Every structure is written in C-alpha cells, then in structure tokens.
Structure 1
Amino acid sequence: MMFQLQIARIATAPLPVWIIWGLGLVTALLLFLSVLLHELGHSLVALHEGVKVRSITLCLFGGIAQTERDCPTAMASLRVAAAGPLVSLILSGLLLGFFPTTKSIHPLLGNLFGQLGALNLVLALFNLLPGLPLDGGLIIKALVWKITGSQRRGIQVANTTGRILSLTSIFAGIWLFLRGGGLSSLWLVMLGCFGLGATRNQSQILALQQVLRDLQVADAVNRRFRVLEDDQPLRRLSQIRLSSTADQRPANWVLVCRAGRWIGYLDDQPLRDLPVQQWDCQVVANHVRSLDELSCISDRAPLWQAVRALEHAHDGRLLVKNAAGIPCGTLDRCDLGEAVLHKLGVALPETFLAASRRQNAYPFGLALSQVVDSMTATDLTEDSV
C-alpha cells in the first residue's frame, strides 16, 4: 500500500489500477526475495561451519533457518547470526546506491529501488534488535558465550534483553496510542506481546532443561513390577493379572528370580498359548525370557537420557537398574513428568496422574522430547550456569 501511494504521487498521469496493484505485487515479491537472501546468508555460513540446515521458513520481518544443531563454538554462532543482517545491509546499500541512477531512467523504477532499499534497511535493523529470537539476540548470546564460556548463560542474557525490549515496546505503544498515535501505534504493542511470549517460552524451556540435567533417574523411579519365583506354577501369573485393576495400562512387568537372583521376566504369552488345565503343571521357569529384551537404564543416568530412551522403548517404559545391574524399579513418562513438575513446585492430583499413566503420556502434555532435542542440538546437556 505504501508503494502504491508513492506511485500515485510521482505519476505524471493517472495510471490504471491494475498497474498500481501489479507494481505493489512486484515490490512484495522482491521483498520476500530479500528475506530469502537474508536467510540464505544464515544458511550458507552455517553450512560453512559444518552445521546442516533442515529448512527455511519465511515471514514478513525475516524468517527461520532451522538447523540440526547449534554451532560448536561461540564465534561460529556469532558469524551465523550476523550473516543475515549483513546480507540485508549489503542489499540496502546497493539498492539505495542505484536509486539516483534508476530514478533518472524512470521515476517508477527509482521509487522501486528506493522502497526496496529502505525495506531491506528496516529488515536488517529490526533483526539486529538485541533480544531472542531475533538475530540481535543470537549475537548477544554468542558474545556472552564467548566471554563467560557458558552457552546457557548467553541464552539467559539474550532472553533477558529480549524481555526488556518487549516490555519497552508494549509501554511505548500504549503511550503513543494515548498521545493520539492512532491504531498504528498498537503495532508496537503487538510486537511487544509477541516478543514477550517468545521470551516466556524460552524461560520455561531453560527451566525444564535445567531440571532434566540436574535430576537423575533415581529421583523419578517407581516400582511397578511384580516378582515370582521360577518354581511357582504358571497359574500364579494368572492370579496376578486378575488382582490387577482393570484400568492398569500397561500391565506391570513380572520379574522372575531364583534363590534371590534375577533370571528374567515373564509375559502373558504362555497364558494365551496353553490351556487352563496346564497352568498348574507348568512352572514359571519354563517360560522365562531374558531381561535383556526389556529397555533398561541406569538409575544414575540424568533424566534427559531417560526421555531419549523412552522414545525408543517398545512399550513406553524402562526397567531401571542400579550400579550392580540389579533391577530396582521402573520408569514411564508419567513418573518422569511427575518428577520434573515436582522439582518445579507443581503438585498434581493422583487422578490426573493415573489418567496420564493410562495414556502413557507426560502430564500436562509436557513436550519433554522436544526439550531434550533442543538440548542436544545446542550442546546444553553438560553446560551449566
């Protein structure tokens, strides 16, 4: 619309409406091409630093170049973050530099170059604002990372500056609106709210990452398995299943021991394969399966590793072993999520936890697998404040 108004002012004769709208469309397409070049700047430097780029998503004031992981060093991260605004500044300089020449050729062509040059300058300056998730915030993160040696500290500082910037934008927009700035001043409020939401999400992710790194599996382990001696009749397994609550899903594991030593586990397949008449004459030892078939994890492993292991567990739970390799409990998504929320000071009623356990899901729909993916992608599994 701004470009169309400029055309109306400089045109020596009235232009058809379709030409005005057509030139506006060309300007919009060239702007998105500029945004694409901005993101390609990030992507090419990331590839040069050995980081693969998954995708590029475009929006009005920039885009997102999604990488598989963060750069391994602070300076590499700084170069990737600065590449996009640098491309926009170069484009702005070239377009504005050719503005006088193109204007002498034709006013409309000069106006096109001038508008695109100004828009690229705005694009660069907007993305250089010092707050996540903008490029300026990533630059702040890289600089603090370089100075302190802690990537996590860099994220915290950039997130704080982003929160301050967002609040400033909100209050400035409200002040301008009350001073008669009109509805256009509310754009500052909208941008501030968007930035504030992004910083709040980042703060929550940082808190979850800290908990997943600090807690061990032993802090979340539960004991949801039954024990049978290997010389007991198979009917004991049937009795255990009948005594379980109807809504208990998945059914508790049944571990088998002999003279105080664990020798394996027992599933329900023998009950399905054998007639009821043979349950008393068949002993558990004849149907024992190896514990190695179960997904296992050490009780000393950090909780973020358990999140990863649960994603690959065939029935969504893990057998927890102590340092001696002896089973000491079980862990499912509900147990893990409950431990994380408890560490954050959130207590859930048992009925809510039971529903989550039946669905084999994290309470509150916690996206812990995505949080762990971001930890490993940015090498934050060992970084500490």
Structure 2
Amino acid sequence: MSNGWQILRIRGIPLRIHPSWFVILIVATLAFQQHYAMASGETGGSLATWSVGLLTAVLLFVSVLLHELGHALVALNQGVRVNAITLFLLGGVASVERECSTARGALLVAAAGPAVSLVLGVSLLSLQHGAAHLAPLLGEMVQELGTLNLVLALFNLLPGLPLDGGLILKALVWQATGSQRRGVEVAMASGRFLSFLAVGLGTVLLLRGGGITGAWLILLGWFGLGAARNQRQMLALQQALKDLRVRDAAQRRFRVLESSDTLRQLSQLRLSQDKGPSDWVLVCDRGRWCGVIDDDPLQALPVQRWDSERIGDHLKPLASLPSIGEGDALWQAALRLEDGPEPRLLVLSPAGLPSGTLERPELSEAVLGRLGVKLPAPMLEVARRQSTYPLGLALGQVARSMVASGEVSVSPSL
C-alpha cells in the first residue's frame, strides 16, 4: 500500500498517511473518550477526556509506527531497501523492495515488529503506577497503551500470513526445508484458516449483538483472505515463470532485408511501420544472417545518397542485440528485459540463429495465459507501444524476488 500523503522521512524511509487512517483515528478517539469518561464516572464528555482520548489514539498509531519501523530498520540492516511505511485503516505496513535472501534474515525482519511492541507494552505497564500517582487519567492512558501494545504484539504473532507470525512461520519452514516456497505454502494455509475463523467468529458476535468487535473481526478476516489470495497469485506467477520457456511466448517483431538493398528501401520499410517501438531490421546475404541495421545511416546521410548506399555497408553485428535462447525460462527473459536498455530480446534457436523476438507484453500474455487469463488485444497493443507490462504485473521484480530467495539461480551468463 503505497498511496497516501508523505509527512516525513525516517532514515530515508518515507512515512505516509493513507486517507483511511483518519477514519480509524476518529473511531479510536471516540472509543477512548467513552472509556475514560466511564473510568472517571462522567456522564458526558469533558475537555480532559476528549483530549486524552485523542492523545491515546495518536500515541497508539505512534506505537504502530514504531512497530513497522522495527521491521524497516532490520530490513535495511539485511540489505533490503524499504520503499515506505504507510499508516492506514488496519494499522500500518512497511513496503520493502524485495524479500530477504536468507531464511534467517527473513526471520529477523518478521520478529522485529512484535519485539518492539512487546518492549513498549511491558515498559508502559511498568510505568502505570507512577503515572497514576501524577494523575489518575494519565495512569489510565499509560495502562491502556501498554495493554494495546501487548495485544498488538500477540495478535501479530498469530501464525498466518500476512501477519508477522505467518512470516516467522514461513521463515522457520524455509530454514527447516530449504524451500521458501514450502514456507509460503504452509504459512498461507495457516493464514487462510485463521481468516475464515475470524470471519466466522465475527459473524457470530455480530448476530449476538457484538457490534464493533464482530465487524472488526470480519474486516480483519476479509483482509487476511485477500492477502492469501494475492500470495497464491504470486506463487502461481512464479511457477509460470519457471515452467514456461521463451519459445512459448516469442513472436517475430523483426523485418528482414538483403545486404544488397538500398537505404531507400530501409526508409520505406520504416514508413510502413505502426507506432510504437520500431521493429529490428535484420540483414541477410544470400540466405545467411550477416547483421542488423538501425536508423543511424538514414540520419547521418543526405536523402540524395539513399539510392546509392547499400545496407551491407552500414551493418552492426547481430551480437549487438540483447538475446536469449528459445529454451531458456521466462524468468530469465524477465530479468534481461529488466536490466537491459532495449524493450525487446532477440530469440535464438539452438543453432544460434534468430527465430523470433520477445517483449514485455508477450511475456505477460504467456504467463497470464498459463493462469487462465486472456488479455484483450487493445490492452496488449497499448502495453507494446509503451514497452510496459499490462496490468502493472512487474514480472521483472517477481523474477528478482525469485533469485533473491534462492527459488532460482542465475548463471554467470546472465
């Protein structure tokens, strides 16, 4: 969740406030004010209880921020870039660029947040009596914040994704089995069970007059089910990138001219092309591939010379184009597209001869086709013109995470 307003930066990490945060801030303030009014024996609402209620709500989210900051700082220590920390309706989330590359690192990052909340909870509860001597309302607030921090820590330690306990479970299974994927599957199954349990309990409470508690449990369960669904989709994407070969997605977005053709013919070929990235022009000499030509000669030479200049005199080697074997996995192609300057790869046959090309839209179409999703032609055409992945798939980042987690290994040639 990266949307929201940035209010400051901590250690270079943007802190953002999502619009939904203001909703829960108001609800929390109302709940705390009523709690303090009842504790003070008030029948209405005084300025003091309203002020302490608002302060408690703000400090609670400061606690959530410190919880997420614990994750973020340990992630930075593990060499993982943190994109942002966002406070929203259900609390907060630290968005990281990728997962840790080791099970131990993932365990440390996952455990850091609950550890911070536990320390805060125990520390605040130990200060409760001293605060109560200064002012009863202050003691009540310190006790409330201490208890809530303990609840936050214990709740997050539940062993199911996307909670910290689920991430800890994933890391432990990963460490025991050597497979990050197995860790995700176990933690995801546990998370689905807990989410269904929360929805069920919330529904029962709601029907029995549980009010906001039941609704909150249903909301948390629904959020957990959505996160589990997203995780399943990520696993499916990774599996498709591993299983599919370049030949399954390649098309032929290059043109062929003879080395004896003139620059005028190259110019006419360019004029006949659609908008978007220009097709490569590969050059043959009596049936043998001999190079590639770009538009540099057309720009460097006057039009009057285009009829006399031969394409064969302005060739670049085929090796100057980024290429990949047609038998390579699609995750390898995604990495090369991510790292390379060109929006296209030249696909080579086992004999090392050009057999096609591969671009981001075609890669996405093949992966989504494996998952049973068919993209409309206009969407693919727009993505092709913009040299992007449709639907914001970011398959290059998915491939990077597969490498970082050890799911796949990169050969020296990549």
Deviates more, 1:153-162 or 1:78-87: 78-87
- Secondary structure at 1:22 match in 2: helix
How far 1:91 sits from its partner (Å)? 2.1
Return the match for 1:139 from 168, 172, 179: 168
1:164 alignment partner AA: F
CA distance in 1 between partners of 2:178 and 2:209 (Å): 47
Distance in 1, Cα, partners of 2:213 & 2:41: 30
Give the alignment's TM-score, normalised by structure 1: 0.86
Letter in 1 for 2:38: R
Give the deviation of 1:313 after TM superposition.
4.5
Q: Distance in 2 between matches of 1:260 and 1:196?
A: 58
Partner of 1:266: 293
Are 1:346 and 2:373 matched, yes or no?
yes
Farther-moved stretch of structure 1 (174-183 vs 158-167):
174-183
In 2, are the aligned partners of 1:61 and 1:123 still within 8 Å (CA)? no
Residues 33, 45 of structure 2: 8 Å contact kept: no
Q: Which amino acid aligns with 2:294?
A: D
Corresponding position of 1:148: 177
Rg larger in 1 or in 2?
1
**TM-score of the pair, normalised by structure 2:** 0.80
C-alpha separation in 2, matches of 1:365 and 1:45:
29
Task: Tell me the SS of whatever aligns to 1:8.
Answer: helix
1:206 aligns with 2:246: no
Deviations 1:126-155 (A, max 9, x none): 211222121011011012112221111101
Q: Secondary structure at the match of 2:284?
A: strand
2:332 equivalent to 1:305? yes
Which of 78, 92, 96 is the matching residue for 2:121? Answer: 92
Gap change, CA 1:136 and 1:329, over 3 Å in 2: same
CA distance in 2, matches of 1:251, 1:121: 59
Match of 2:195 in 1: 166
Q: Which residue of 2 aligns with 1:294?
A: 321
C-alpha separation in 2, matches of 1:31 and 1:200: 29
Q: SS of the residue aligned with 1:56?
A: strand
Match of 1:102 in 2: 131
Conservation of the 8 A alpha-carbon contact between 1:255 and 1:262 = yes
Distance 2:268 2:90 in 1: 65
Alignment correspondent of 2:245: 216
1:227 correspondence with 2:260: no
1:250 and 2:286 matched? no
Aligned counterparts of 2:106 and 2:397: Cα–Cα separation in 1: 21
**AA of the residue aligned to 1:65:** A
The alpha carbon displacement at 1:348 in A equals 4.6
Distance 1:16-1:343 versus aligned 2 partners, 3 A rule: closer
CA distance in 2, matches of 1:278, 1:111: 89
Q: Is the alpha carbon distance of 1:81 and 1:210 closer, same or farther for their aligned partners in structure 2, counting shifts above 3 Å?
A: same
Q: Separation in 2 of the partners of 1:324 and 1:96?
A: 72
Q: 1:188 aligns to what SS in structure 2? A: helix
Task: Give the Å deviation of 1:236.
Answer: 3.3
**Structure 2 residue ranges without an equivalent (≥5):** 1-29
SS in 2 for 1:65: strand
Where does structure 1 lack aligned partners over 5 or more consecutive residues? none
- Count residues with an aligned counterpart: 381
Letter in 1 for 2:353: I
- Shift of residue 110, structure 1, vs aligned partner: 1.5
Question: In the alignment, residue 54 of structure 2 is paired with which amino acid?
Answer: L
Pair 4,79 (structure 1): closer, same or farther in 2 beyond 3 Å: same
Residues 20-39 of structure 1 mapped to structure 2, 5 A cutoff: 20-39=49-68
User: What is the aligned partner in structure 2 of residue 56 from structure 1?
Assistant: 85
Judge conservation of contact 1:10–1:107 (CA < 8 Å) in 2.
no
For residues 270 and 75 of structure 2, the distance between their equivalents in structure 1, rounded to whole angstroms, comes to 55
AA matched with 1:197: G
Corresponding letter in the other structure for 1:137: G
Q: Does 1:77 align with 2:103?
A: no
RMSD: 3.0
Bigger mean CA offset, 42-51 vs 1-10: 42-51
d(CA) in 1 for partners of 2:125, 2:267 = 82
TM-aligned CA deviation for residue 349 of structure 1: 5.7
Task: Report % sequence identity.
Answer: 55
Q: Is the 8 A contact 1:317 1:333 kept in 2?
A: yes
Quote the residue 1:317 is aligned against.
344
- The separation in 1 between residues aligned to 2:173 and 2:305, in whole angstroms, is 70
Structure 2 Cα separation of the partners of residues 37 and 371 of structure 1 = 29
Contact map agreement 2:205 2:213 (CA 8 A) in 1 = no
